[in-house]
């Protein structure tokens, strides 16, 4: 079967991308260094830019750079330009060419109540609408990041304190987000009303830390305290005597938490604990349930690295079919290395994956992947496995079919670009990919893997609209036709 696929399809266009990761610490003498280490642990959440803002008691200091955390923040000279005992940081992923320095967070502004730096992970579903209203009222926007909208709302708030202004601002925002703010004396953490995006609280030497995932606590030897609750705002403030007070504000009307299921399927690091659940265990459970739902006669279970590995281990254990690393991933191929010349295009997916021929030749292979977005990478991987001598290639996907785009901070293609919407049947999808069989985990199988029970259709336990079409909030920007053209730009700005 011959498929004409573009280079971008092969390499960068057929995976989901998380928007961002955040990290903040208050009152520690090594604040910037610890923030850089925390961001390094969160690098999987965004690889295109990183930023840190610190405060030394007199001035704010900012270092915002394009590229990876390790490219810049391992330099002692860079860290020396970030003095102080408090800092917040951010790693960012963008999707549309809008990765420019003025969009790199944390964003900083000098307001009537003093300087404030903010960073957030996720996306506001009314960010464009609020932005248009602010501009109509005379606001001047310097970036295309919807994080800037929050700065304007803080500046315009009639509340007295910076904390109350911050709360007043975010209560006007809708969507999925976790956000950190830093003032001269405070570190403020906030999570969206239903907890779509994760945020955890930790402690190191008695000093509070907030970050997107527990793996960022582990890297610096910090203690996990608890998850920030959905809708909660936690205000940590250094007092004149050096002590730190912690004020947790809950929303007036609480809603059930609905964490994003894709944190478990794909985004979070396997060693993280999200919503009290170990991500590796959840992914392994997905593979176990997949083996029960979609058994197949085969000789070897091979993960599509790296995301499919825990599920493949579970599939192998439940099915009794041996697990082998039949595909080896090259971890050192980045977007900066790859140039879309015709010669490079010809290499296709082999730039990132190569078949382990000794394991595959003459075997009936089960390929286990975490998800399929457009299917273009799957086509290339199946071709590669067949070229390595496999007698059969069966694909098992450890999540349901993706039918709907996301508006809460995940980079997803438009609905008509998703594989599940391009073919009317599973067989047609399988034929396109070129496999001998193709099966996906059911939505209930996924829910059982993560939460231990099937989906409650009346009140879903997780955010799962990409599978079900059940969006948990209003989509104000999408519903406004004047925003449609710009939405793809701003939805990527984490």
Active-site positions?
A: 20
DSSP tag of 59: -
Q: Burial letters for 353-384: b for 16+ Cβ neighbours within 10 Å, e otherwise?
A: bebeeebbeebbbbbbbbbbbbbbbbbbbbbb
Q: Is 481 exposed, middle or buried (0-12, 13-18, 19+ CB in 10 A)?
A: exposed
**Look-up: residue for tokens 């998800």?**
371
CB atoms closer than 10 angstroms to residue 337: 9
Q: How many alpha carbons lie under 13 Å from residue 361 in its C-beta half-sphere?
A: 4
Residue spans of alpha helices (H) in 42-187:
69-72, 76-80, 127-136, 147-156, 162-170
Contacts of 272 (CB under 8 A, 6+ apart): 213, 214, 215, 278, 279
- Pairing state between β 300-303 and 364-369: parallel
Identify whether the C-beta of residue 193 lies closer than 8 Å to the C-beta of residue 17: no
């Amino acid at each position: 079967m011959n498929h004409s696929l573009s280079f971008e399809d092969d390499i960068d266009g057929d995976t989901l991308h998380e928007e961002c990761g955040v990290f903040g610490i208050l009152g520690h003498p090594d604040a910037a260094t610890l923030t850089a280490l925390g961001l390094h642990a969160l690098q999987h959440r965004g690889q295109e830019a990183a930023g840190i803002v610190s405060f030394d008691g007199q001035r704010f200091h900012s270092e915002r750079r394009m590229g990876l955390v390790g490219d810049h923040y391992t330099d002692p000279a860079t860290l020396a330009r970030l003095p102080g005992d408090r800092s917040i940081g951010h790693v960012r992923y963008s999707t549309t060419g809008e990765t420019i320095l003025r969009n790199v967070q944390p964003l900083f502004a000098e307001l009537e109540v003093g300087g404030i730096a903010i960073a957030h992970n996720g996306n506001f579903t009314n960010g464009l609408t609020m932005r248009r209203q602010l501009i109509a009222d005379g606001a001047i926007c310097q970036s295309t990041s919807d994080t800037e909208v929050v700065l304007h709302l803080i500046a315009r708030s009639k509340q007295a304190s910076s904390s109350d202004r911050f709360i007043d601002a975010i209560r006007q925002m809708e969507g999925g987000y976790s956000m950190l703010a830093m003032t001269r004396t405070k570190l403020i953490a906030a999570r969206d009303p239903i907890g779509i995006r994760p945020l955890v609280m930790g402690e190191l030497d008695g000093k509070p830390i907030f970050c997107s995932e527990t793996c960022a606590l582990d890297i610096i030897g910090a203690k996990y305290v608890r998850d920030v609750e959905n809708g909660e705002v936690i205000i940590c403030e250094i007092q004149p005597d050096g002590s730190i007070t912690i004020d947790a504000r809950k929303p007036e009307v609480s809603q059930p938490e609905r964490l994003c299921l894709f944190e478990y399927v794909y985004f979070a690091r396997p060693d993280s604990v999200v919503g009290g659940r170990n991500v590796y265990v959840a992914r392994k459970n997905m593979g176990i349930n997949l083996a029960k739902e979609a058994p197949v006669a085969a000789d070897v279970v091979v993960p599509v690295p790296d995301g499919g590995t825990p599920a493949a281990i579970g599939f192998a254990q439940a099915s009794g079919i041996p697990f082998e690393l039949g595909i080896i991933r090259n971890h050192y191929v980045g977007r900066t290395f790859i140039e879309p010349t015709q010669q490079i295009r010809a290499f296709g997916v082999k730039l990132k994956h190569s078949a382990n021929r000794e394991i595959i030749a003459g075997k009936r292979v089960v390929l286990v992947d975490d998800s399929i977005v457009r299917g273009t990478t799957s086509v290339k991987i199946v071709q590669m496995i067949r070229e390595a001598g496999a007698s059969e290639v069966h694909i098992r996907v450890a999540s349901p079919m993706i039918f709907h785009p996301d508006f809460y901070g995940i980079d997803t293609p438009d609905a008509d670009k998703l594989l599940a919407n391009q073919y009317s049947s599973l067989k047609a999808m399988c034929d396109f990919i070129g496999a001998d069989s193709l099966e996906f985990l059911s939505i209930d199988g996924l829910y059982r893997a993560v939460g231990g029970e099937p989906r409650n259709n009346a009140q879903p336990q997780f955010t799962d609209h990409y599978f079900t079409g059940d969006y948990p909030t209003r989509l104000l920007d999408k519903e406004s036709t004047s925003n449609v053209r710009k939405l793809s730009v701003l939805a990527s700005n984490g």
